[in-house]
Structure 1
């Protein structure tokens, strides 16, 4: 079993490699070379190896023979993961309503309003948008008080993040507005409204993807 220092290093390596997958330069289909990744993230190969095993376990990396590849997220995989999120995350939002610290909801609201008030060129900063998105969904999952449920949702979210605002940049403003509706309901302690807002948000993401495919 990993000791505390080793585990901490592995988690740091995990976050750095995950960022390479979600934000580039790693792209679906790329071969993952352990030594090269260690050089890129500036860490030794041991924590990098542990992090790669974690990512493989989550399905973001696939092993073909001896080589690891960044998973090519098929649309069917994405829609399946999103459907499970639709089953789980409204319940999480309901459980989290009234349980989130006011300072956290205020911070999230300010960040979302800052994005909406920024210039279109600034809105294109995916790392900023992804950070707020991760904070909101992750916070609700944690506050709900079920560690296994939280871990499942985080894994599903990582899978769906591989097909996100890069594919649907027109969704950015709507996404922020939908997140604000969730924050408002959670802050008000209204579990049913929070669940409905989460369902509406994820349903609109799904419908936008279907609509885009229909147009192409």
Structure 2
């Protein structure tokens, strides 16, 4: 079991490698070299190895025998499967979380969303901000129900769908922010049914936007 300093380093490595994957710097199908990553992140190989194991557990890296780990090539079928799981679980979790989010968490989430909405129209979405908003809202809601297994499943499915989402449909930034506000309003008000409906509507619109984008290709 990792001690606290080692765990912090592993989480730092995890966040940085995750950003490489979600940002496209680590390409789908590319083999991950532990030593080169450690050099690039200015870390020892131990926290990098721990971070890679975490990402493998979330399905973003696949083990290729003696060749090591490879960035997963996400197919649209993988995306749709993961989103279907989210549609089954997250509305129910939003219902359970209603009235349970701390006021400070709600205020921080509203501030993030307001920052995103203030971006100049037509400008590319700030990927880090978009990810923070997604992590903040969906993560806080799943954590609020205090079920570690459920939170872990949802987190893994979110990682799978983050490979597409706003990077595939950047014009959805404003819509996503407003949908998040609807979810947050219902959760803050303690209205479980409204929270579940808002979450289901949000995820359905994400799914439909991807389908529409693919239909235009």
Q: Same fold (TM over 0.5)?
A: yes
Structure 1 equivalent of residue 65 of structure 2: 65
Which position in structure 1 is the counterpart of 2:160?
159
Q: Name the SS of the counterpart of 1:62 in structure 2.
A: strand
> In structure 2, how many angstroms separate the alpha carbons of the residues matched to 1:140 and 1:62?
28
Q: Distance in 2 between matches of 1:69 and 1:118?
A: 35
Equivalent position of 1:26 in the other structure: 26
Distance 1:141 1:147 in 2: 9
Superposition RMSD on alpha carbons, in Å?
A: 1.5
- Tell me what 2:37 maps to: 37
Superposition map of 1:94-113 within 5 A: 94-113=95-114
CA contact under 8 A between 1:90 and 1:199: conserved in structure 2? Answer: yes
List runs of 5+ in structure 2 lacking aligned partners.
Answer: none
Question: Which stretch of structure 1 is more off in the superposition, 127-136 or 104-113?
Answer: 104-113
Aligned residues: 216
SS in 1 for 2:8: helix
Gap runs ≥5 in structure 1: none
What residue is the counterpart of 1:118 in the other structure? 119
The whole-number CA distance in structure 2 between the counterparts of 1:113 and 1:154 is: 24
| Separation of aligned partners in 2, 1:54 and 1:116 | 32
> 1:93-119, CA deviations, whole angstroms, 9 ceiling, x for partnerless residues?
111110011222122122212221221
Deviation at 1:123, TM superposition (A): 5.3
Q: Helix, strand or coil for the counterpart of 2:73?
A: coil
Q: Secondary structure at the match of 1:73?
A: coil
Q: Paired residue for 1:174?
A: 175
Aligned to 1:2, the other structure's residue is in SS state: coil
* Per-residue deviation, residues 91-146 of structure 1 (Å, max 9, x unmatched): 11111110011222122122212221221365521111111111000000111111
Measured in 2, the distance between the counterparts of 1:38 and 1:5 equals 17
Partner of 1:201: 202
Residue in 1 that maps onto 2:212: 211
TM-score by length of 1: 0.94
Deviations 1:185-209 (A, max 9, x none): 0111100000000000000011111
